[in-house]
Structure 1
């Protein structure tokens, strides 16, 4: 199943996140993508914060629609154009229910593993993995179709980590190497007897000098070539059952040119 879900409310202001997702949709020009309507509840700076989460009502309303679409269609695979990282709680929990011990590859500059009470920004895009672990805001548990274990999480390109996130990573012995090594990651995944993968791809995992049309720019990321090689290796070694492309914010299709290889690998 192919999903277009340009959620931006989990990011705070969401500058260009929705039109950025639309640019990728227009580039792919694929009528199979199903659009999930966004909430009309007032969000952004005028939105309401509940349970230490900005725009809580808007986020939960539209994620409920996303969950209903998946449950109704019962797809075996999911490809998502988004949107901020908070949307991942629905497709990942759905696929984890279908494929137990799902390997989650988190291409991201950020750990996205804060609890609401630990988040300085109160933006949900920094909380999806903690929510998926069943350790987030309990009101969001109804959006989950399953919970994951820390051993299922594997970071690529991680380098901007809050202290509380580092503590959870260390406590869970979560795979978070300082430098990516495809052979080592494949070995780690196979030792865990992981067969199926979900590839979360936030474009801010990339080195900004390679691609800087992202919601955040964090120095010392992985190169586009390294990302393409890693995705290709994982697709060759495992069964990829889901993936996403998130937080590219350019509104010009020609500016996508550097990352079309990544988009094609994940969405086609």
Structure 2
């Protein structure tokens, strides 16, 4: 199942993320894509914080819609066009109930593993992995189909990490090498007995000089060709049952040209 879910409220004020998701949707031009409407609860500058999470009510309302859609459809595969990284708690926790050996590949400049009490921004797109571990805000636990383990998380392109996030990564022995290769990543996955993957892709993992139409630009990122090669190899070596393309902000089709290879790999 392919799902268009342009959630932006998890970023705080980043409505440009919704516009960027729409640009990718238009590029794909696929009538089979299911669209999830966003909440009409005020968000952004008019939004309210609850449990130290900005736009809490809007986020939980629309994530519940996402969960209900999946609960009814019961897909064996999910491909998500979004949207901010906070939406990942639903598809990852769902697929984790189907595949007992699911590995999560997190292409991202950021760790996204803060608790609300530790988050400097209080934006939920910096918290999804902590929620997926069952260590987030209790009032959001009903949105999860299951929780994952630290051994399932594998970061690629990580380089902007809060102190509290680094502590959790260290405590959990989470795969987060400063330097990585596709072969080394594959070896790690095989050693763990992982055969199925969810591949999360936040475009800010890329080197900004290659692609800078992202909500954040973080220097020293992954080259586009390197990302394409890695994704293609993972698809050959494992069964990819879930994938996403997130947090691009361009509204111009021509500006998608550098990343069309990644989008098409993730959504094929």
How high is the TM-score relative to the length of structure 2? 0.99
Q: Aligned partners of 1:55, 1:16: CA distance in 2, in Å?
A: 16
Residue aligning to 1:222 = 222
Give a deviation string over 1:43-70, Cα, whole Å, max 9, x none. 0022110000000000000000000000
Counterpart in 2 of 1:239?
239
Aligned mates of 1:157, 1:184 — CA distance in 2: 14
Q: Matched residue pairs, number? A: 268
CA contact (8 A) 1:108 1:205 kept: yes
| Partner of residue 144, structure 2 | 144
Q: Does 1:196 align with 2:220?
A: no
Q: What CA distance in whole angstroms lies between the structure 2 residues aligned with 1:57 and 1:102? A: 30
Q: Deviations over 1:213-261 (max 9, x none)?
A: 0000000000000100100110010000000000000000010000000
Secondary structure at the aligned position of 2:80 is classed as strand
Helix, strand or coil at the partner of 2:92: helix
* Residue aligning to 1:105: 105
Q: What corresponds to 1:164 in structure 2?
A: 164
CA distance in 2, matches of 1:75, 1:15: 29
> Is 1:261 the equivalent of 2:257?
no
State the distance in 2 between where 1:99 and 1:112 align.
Answer: 23
Unaligned runs of 5+ in 2: none
SS at match of 2:264: helix
Matched, 1:173 2:173: yes
Contact 2:130 2:136 in 1 (8 A): yes
Q: Note the 1:1-268 alignment, pairs <5 A.
A: 1-268=1-268
Name the CA distance, whole Å, in 1 between partners of 2:207 and 2:138.
Answer: 35
Give how far 1:100 is off. 1.5
CA–CA distance in 1 between the matches of 2:12 and 2:156?
Answer: 24
Separation of aligned partners in 2, 1:109 and 1:130: 16
Q: CA deviation at 1:14?
A: 1.1
Is 1:79–1:243's contact at 8 Å kept on the other side of the alignment? Answer: yes
Write the distance in 1 (CA, Å) between the matches of 2:113 and 2:101: 19
Q: What is the TM-score normalised by the length of structure 1?
A: 0.99
Displacement, 1:15? Answer: 3.6
RMSD, aligned α-carbons: 0.5
In the TM superposition, residue 39 of structure 1 has moved relative to its aligned partner by 0.2
Structure 1 distance, partners of 2:204, 2:107, is: 8
